[in-house]
């Protein structure tokens, strides 16, 4: 099978992913083999190929927003049948019995494993996963439209929950890529007033088309203070920008798996009055179930730019430089 393989991390402009032929993966017990149709492109993939994340193994096939059809089932895999369409997200395994798993925090499991990091992911013609960590997808979404829901959508949804935003309140979104363009649609569905902070004019235009009431740069001042904020861009100094306009008792959620260092925070002017900062780490299966249900209910509209597998380095370079409108998605096999 054809894959995009990472052998040595390096800047994406140096084409770190190489097309290679690898054997099709074999199956164990509850695993299902997926013939990949599409795979979303995520900032986590960029951090992986550029070596900003600690990599537990090399070589590695990245990609963790996978849509495909079940091609084969292991002997104990009963949830799906050959031909079923499924989605595979970032979380691919947790132990099920640690203190985190038994308190609905499996995203924090010490033994958790992640697609495209601990095991080969979706930048490939085939991949596999334990069927307990695969999902049926809403029929209203095509394969291309569904792929961004599996990480951008799920993480955006979890970030909305953890930032504490309530219906009708004001929300700030810092950075406006794949995740933010879905989070804003959920926030507007909840009747929230959304301010978007981004350097890109193209992204500001998209934000306004999706219901943002104000757009500007990170150091601009919106009409009112916000009750909650989500930072999607991996830039530590944005925390100060968000705290500067955050109302008393508000929360800033950091939605990225990687972020540059946070600068010194002045306690009296920026953090006092019960303002808080919290990170968003991965997501649970329940987050994915709820997001997929909500995606159909809203309904979410995924703005997508399509690429083919040989264009993966180009696609990641465009992602790095904020040149993708909405989400990037690889087409790998025809549905």
Looking at residue 181, what is its pLDDT?
96
Dmax (CA) for the chain in angstroms is: 60
Looking at residue 280, what is its pLDDT?
97
Looking at residue 334, what is its pLDDT?
77
The average pLDDT across 143-171 equals 97
The string of pLDDT tens digits covering residues 29-48 is 999 999 999 999 999 999 99
The string of pLDDT tens digits covering residues 82-106 is 999 999 999 999 999 999 999 999 9
Cα gap 197→207, rounded to integer Å: 9
Looking at residue 107, what is its pLDDT?
97
* Helical pair 152-162 and 285-297, crossing angle rounded to 10 deg: 100
Cα gap 232→196, rounded to integer Å: 11
The average pLDDT across 222-245 equals 97
At residue 266 the predicted structure's pLDDT band, cuts being 50, 70 and 90, is very high
Q: Does residue 333 have a pLDDT over 90?
A: no
Identify the structural domains of the chain with CATH numbers, from first to last: 2-151+282-331 (3.90.180.10), 154-279 (3.40.50.720)
Q: Which residues of 20-37 are buried (b: 16+ CB within 10 A; e: fewer)?
A: eeeeebebeebbbbbbbb
CA-nearest of 215, 207, 210 to 298 is 210
The average pLDDT across 222-248 equals 97
Half-sphere exposure of 79 (CA within 13 A, CB side): 16
Per-chain mean pLDDT for the chain: 96
The string of pLDDT tens digits covering residues 211-221 is 999 999 999 99
Looking at residue 231, what is its pLDDT?
98
């Amino acid at each position: 099978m054809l894959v995009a393989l990472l052998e040595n991390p390096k800047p994406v402009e140096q084409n770190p992913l190489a097309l290679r032929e690898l054997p099709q993966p074999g199956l164990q017990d509850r695993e299902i083999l997926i013939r990949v149709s599409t795979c979303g492109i995520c900032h986590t993939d960029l951090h992986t190929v550029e070596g900003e994340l600690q990599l537990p193994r090399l070589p590695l096939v990245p990609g963790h927003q996978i849509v495909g059809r079940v091609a084969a089932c292991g002997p104990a895999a009963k949830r799906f049948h050959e031909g079923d369409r499924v989605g595979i997200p970032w979380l691919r395994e947790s132990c099920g019995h640690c203190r985190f798993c038994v308190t609905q925090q499996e995203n924090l499991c010490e033994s958790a494993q992640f697609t495209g990091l601990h095991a080969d992911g979706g930048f490939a013609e085939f991949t596999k996963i334990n069927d307990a960590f695969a999902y049926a997808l809403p029929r209203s979404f095509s394969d291309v439209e569904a792929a961004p829901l599996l990480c951008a959508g799920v993480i955006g949804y979890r970030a909305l929950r953890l930032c504490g935003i309530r219906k009708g309140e004001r929300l700030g979104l810092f950075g406006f890529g794949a995740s933010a363009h879905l989070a804003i649609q959920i926030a507007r569905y909840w009747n929230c007033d959304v301010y978007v902070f981004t350097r890109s004019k193209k992204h500001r235009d998209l934000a306004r088309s999706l219901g943002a009431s104000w757009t500007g740069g990170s150091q601009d001042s919106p009409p009112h203070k916000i009750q909650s904020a989500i930072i999607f861009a991996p830039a530590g100094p944005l925390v100060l920008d968000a705290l500067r306009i955050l109302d008393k008792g508000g929360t800033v959620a950091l939605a990225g798996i990687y972020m540059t260092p946070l600068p010194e925070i002045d306690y009296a002017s920026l953090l006092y009055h019960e303002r808080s900062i919290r990170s968003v780490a991965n997501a649970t299966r329940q987050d994915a179930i709820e997001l997929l249900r909500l995606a159909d209910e809203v309904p979410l509209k995924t703005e997508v730019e399509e690429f083919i597998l040989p264009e993966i380095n180009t696609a990641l370079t465009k992602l790095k430089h904020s040149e993708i409108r909405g989400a990037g998605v690889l087409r790998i096999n025809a549905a």
